[in-house]
Structure 1
Amino acid sequence: MKNKAQVEVQFNWIFILIVGAIILSFFVVIAMRQKQASESSINVGFFVNFEKALSGISAVQGKTLLFEVPNMDLNYECTSGCDCAAYAGVSRARASASFNMRDKIIFSPNKLKGNNLLTMSRDWSYPFRITNLLFITSPQVKYLIEDTPVGNSLYNSLPQTFLKVEQTEQRSFDKQLFKPSEKIEAITGNYKLKFVFTESKPEEFAIPDEVADLPSKDVTAIFIEKVSGASEKVRFYEKDSTDKTKFRETGVSYLFGEATQFGAIFAEDLNAYACMMNKAFKKYEMVARVYEIKQKLYYIDAPQNCRINYVTSYMDRVVSAVPNMDFKNQLGEKDGSALNITNNARSISLQNDNAIKAGCPQIY
């Protein structure tokens, strides 16, 4: 009897423990779901406000804003088919919140960490105004610009390193000039680094040991290539996975003015840059067609001395060449179209200047 009673007591305790564990698990699951629902609600609210802020910034030329974000994994991704979106979470398929880029032209790293995001708009004109390009980054991404005349001009055009937010100076952008032949100071503490070369070849640069352990896709570079008599190009690089001290080239594309240089600097890689530039060129085509019609109408009504400024041959060539552009990895296939656009854009700019000097209505 005594043994039977002991067994019953043990069974009762086991039963109590099992039931208690089930009840505890139930409440843990409820708490976790509530936490996930709360985080999802916060993330959705953030994206709603963030999209509104981007819409406001995109409507203003040269606007820079430091945007506070909740503690979450924020990512930006463009697929190979150029389906681009920002999302919260470890993957796009399991994102707690997201928003599609739609008509916005945004250049950004693929990972955005920290409590603040820098958002910036820049006017893109070539030669006439086309649209505003948007740029997003984190103050925890470091941009290293080669110390050359071109590099210094770029450095000064990039955002300030500190912005005043509610009367407090906050770190907004991490930029630094460097000389490839000299040791780079204060290079640690960032989760991403982007080198911008304007004279030296990235293939010949020795990546500092301090960043050797960062993933290859988080140590990248571009080379802004200017060749007389040719269109401006940009070459993309990332750290070689087999030799951590070297960069390897991943592709080449085209540039059309300073705003697109910024695009190459802020974009995660060639694919992200190409997706946004292909979208931007669709707007370029629409705007060019409007000015083509405008020139033709001006030519009809203009005095004889003004008509030379409204001959549409240059604009016609731009309208014809723009749809042929593709910013995906180019190995010279689109050099003719790119040079055609560059040269005729200069001629249109000269036409506009001459119209103003002659007292004729300007083209743009």
Structure 2
Amino acid sequence: MKLMITGGAGFIGGAVVRTLINETDHQVVNVDKLTYAGNLESLAEVSASDRYHFVQADIADAEAMAHILAQHQPDKIMHLAAESHVDRSIDGPADFIQTNIVGTYTLLEAARHYWQSLNQSASPEALQKAQQFRFHHVSTDEVYGDLAHTDDLFTESTPYAPSSPYSASKASSDHLVRAWYRTFGLPVVLTNCSNNYGPYHFPEKLIPLMILNALSGKPLPVYGDGQQIRDWLYVEDHARALIKVSLDGHTGDTYNIGGHNEKTNLDVVYTLCDLLQARVPPASGHYRDLITFVPDRPGHDLRYAIDARKIQRELGWTPSETFETGMAKTVDWFLTHTQWCQNVLDGSYRGERLGLQGLHSAVQDSGALPS
């Protein structure tokens, strides 16, 4: 099949593209606007494949989306393009509204017209393509808000209660996708995932930020008391789950995807410090000595946890990596891919020199951490 991936130069989208090219025979059309978080260097290993095609375009550009769909005729759309950093959404919500809401609406409309044109065609091939077409919307567990009790889990029927401009924009996009299914019959499937980590993670996020700051001897900023709990999912496990849902999920359904790894932010930082201490110990002391507690983020959710039994029961997916194996792989990847990290930090991956400070001043100064 031919799959169109929006946001395929981003962290999760890149993992999906690499997995599709490396582990399947499917074709990939990667559509990415190449904002600050889009990095084609993350796709270097697959970019020469004759099954891979890249198009730089904005999902909010209706004419561009219609043209791409007409030209490439995908069997599936996997929609991952989104602004995703909570701190950035607090500092400037407008980009989140534009990309996550307006962009998703624009893409939905382009997909609807494309799908309807296939259904109206006299060609047996087009009719078959229409029957197998699916719009897969990739979302987040943050749309559910946070959990009040230690034994609660997010299920596919948990009511929405977003806390940040980011999660509110993603909740809005989820509602749009379901409305296009209910009103227009567009064949859709949705997934909501827990916190991802792994190779090629942009350095403003918690885990790569801690690794790179520690290696540079800089403070490791932790919000509040660090007791916020997240369910951590290795990105390559997530990519395989997304592909499974796109190909085999039930139309109209939602699937929660989690890593079964609930950890406090402070425990995550401790784990990273200990892994680095064993691999590249500093000249003196311990990386844990660099931990610095900073004022908490406004509206910071306390706990997320995913009930992922549905995708396991219906599609047979479970994560391959434990927290321990995934974190070790992540640390080892960052230690052996210093040039990729440097290109991101100095902005040269975009053909310019931004510097990490220019990417987001709070990353170095006060710790722009993920949810």
- Relative to the length of structure 1, the TM-score reads 0.33
- The structure whose residues are more often strand, as a share, is 1
- The structure whose residues are more often helix, as a share, is 2
Which has the higher relative contact order, 1 or 2, with Cα contacts under 8 A spaced 6 or more apart?
2
Name which one, 1 or 2, has greater alpha-carbon Rg: 1
- Relative to the length of structure 2, the TM-score reads 0.32
